[in-house]
Chains A and B, each alone.
Chain A
Amino acid sequence: MRSESGKIYRGLAGVSGALVFLQGGGGVAYGEMVEIVGDDGRTRAGRVLIASRETLAIEVYQGTEGISPTGARIRCLGRPLETPVAVEMLGRTFDSFGRALDGGPDPLADDWRNVNGAAINPAVRAYPRDFLQTGISAIDGLNTLVRGQKLPIFSGSGLPHIQLAAQIVRQAQAPGETEGFAVIFAIIGASRDVADIFRRSVEESGALQRVAMFVNFADDPAVERLVTPRTALSLAEYLAFDCGMHVLVVMTDITQYCEALREVASAKGEVPSRKGYPGYLYSDLAALFERAGRIQNKAGSITQVPILTMPNDDITHPIPDLTGYITEGQIVLERDLDRAGIYPPINVLPSLSRLMSDGIGEGRTRSDHAHLSSQLYSAYAYARRIRMLAAIVGEEELAGRDRKYLDFGRRFEREFIGQAIDENRTIEQTLDLGWLMLRELPAADLTRVSAEEIARHLK
Chain B
Amino acid sequence: MNDAGAGGAVKRRSEAVGRAVWISGPVVRADLTASVFMGEQMEVGANRLIGEIIGVSGAQALIQVYEETEGMQPGEPVFGTGLAMYIELGPGLIGGVFDGVQRPLNLLRRKGPFVEKGAKADPLDPARRWRFVPKATPLAKIRGGEVLGVVPETPVVEHRVLAPPDWSGDLVAIAPEGDYAVRDRIATIRIDGREFPVSMVQRWPVKQARPYQEHLRPIVPLITGQRVFDLFFPLAKGGSAAIPGGFGTGKTVTQHQLSKWAEADVIVYVGCGERGNEMAEVLMDFPKLSDPRTGRPLMEKTVLIGNTSNMPVAAREASIYTGITMAEYYRDMGYHVALMADSTSRWAEALREVSARLEEMPAEEGFPAYLATRLAQFYERAGRVRTLSGREGSVTIIGAVSPAGGDFSEPVTQHTKRFTRCFWALDKDLAGARYFPAINYLESYSGYLDDVSEWWRDRYDPKWRDIREQAMQLLQEDDRLQRIVRLVGEDALPDEQRLIIEGSRLLQEGCLQQNANDPVDTYCRPEKQLGLLKAILHFVSRAKEIVKRGAPIHRIRETPARESIVRAKDKIPNDHPELLDELVAAIDREMDALYAEFQKVG
Contact = CB atoms under 8 A, between A and B. Distances in A.
Main secondary structure of the interface of A (DSSP, over half): mixed
B23 A30 contact: yes
A270 interface: yes
Interface stretch (A67-75, A89-97, A111-119, A252-260): A111-119
Nearest to B350: A283
Nearest to B111: A121
A274 B364 CA distance: 10
A393 B433 contact: no
B277 A328 contact: yes
Contacts of A377: 433-434
Interface in A286-327: 286-287, 289-291, 293, 295-296, 298, 316-318, 321-322, 324-326
Interface stretch (B79-87, B195-203, B403-411, B587-595): B403-411
Given A118-B115, A279-B349, A370-B517, A325 B279 contact: no
For chain A, the bracket of interface size reads 35 or more
Contacts of A316: 404-407
User: Of residues A49, A354, A388, A447, which shows the largest number of chain B Cβ atoms within 10 Å of its Cβ?
Assistant: A354
Contact of B113 (A52, A54, A241, A321): A241
B41 interface: no
B489 A122 contact: no
Given A27-B75, A126-B280, A381-B434, A402 B489 contact: yes
B70 A30 contact: yes
A344 B212 CA distance: 61
B97 interface: yes
Interface string A386-405: 00110011000111001000
A326 B70 contact: no
A322 B71 CA distance: 29
Most chain B CB neighbours (cut-off 10 Å) among A30, A52, A122:
A122
Contacts of B517: 357, 370
Interface string B105-143: 110110001111100000000000000000000000000
A330 B356 contact: no
A253 to B, nearest CB: 20
Contact of B21 (A49, A53, A293, A326): A53
A119 B247 CA distance: 23
B280 A125 contact: yes
Contacts of B310: 119, 283, 286-287, 289-291
A293 B277 contact: yes
A271 interface: yes
| Residue from B116, B280, B310 having most chain A Cβ neighbours under 10 A | B310
A301 B334 CA distance: 45
Interface in B291-325: 306, 308-311, 313
B21 A279 contact: no
Contacts of B406: 316, 321
A286 B22 CA distance: 26
A123 B352 CA distance: 28
Nearest to A237: B114
A295 B114 CA distance: 10
A273 interface: yes
Interface string B539-564: 00000000000000000011000010
Given A125-B280, A126-B280, A287-B310, A274 B365 contact: yes
Contact of B73 (A29, A296, A381, A447): A29
Interface string A258-294: 0000000000001111100011101100110111010
B22 A122 contact: no
A95 B533 CA distance: 62
Contact of B275 (A274, A290, A322, A398): A290
B277 A53 contact: no
A358 to B, nearest CB: 8
Given A117-B114, A283-B309, 7 more contacts: A120-B114, A128-B280, A273-B352, A273-B366, A293-B277, A298-B113, A382-B433
Interface of A: 26-32, 49-54, 80, 114, 116-128, 148-149, 241, 270-274, 278-280, 282-283, 286-287, 289-291, 293, 295-296, 298, 316-318, 321-322, 324-326, 328-330, 349-350, 352, 354-355, 357-358, 370, 374, 377-378, 381-382, 388-389, 392-393, 397-399, 402, 444, 447
9 contacts: A51-B22, A121-B109, A128-B277, A273-B356, A274-B404, A283-B349, A286-B309, A318-B404, A330-B247
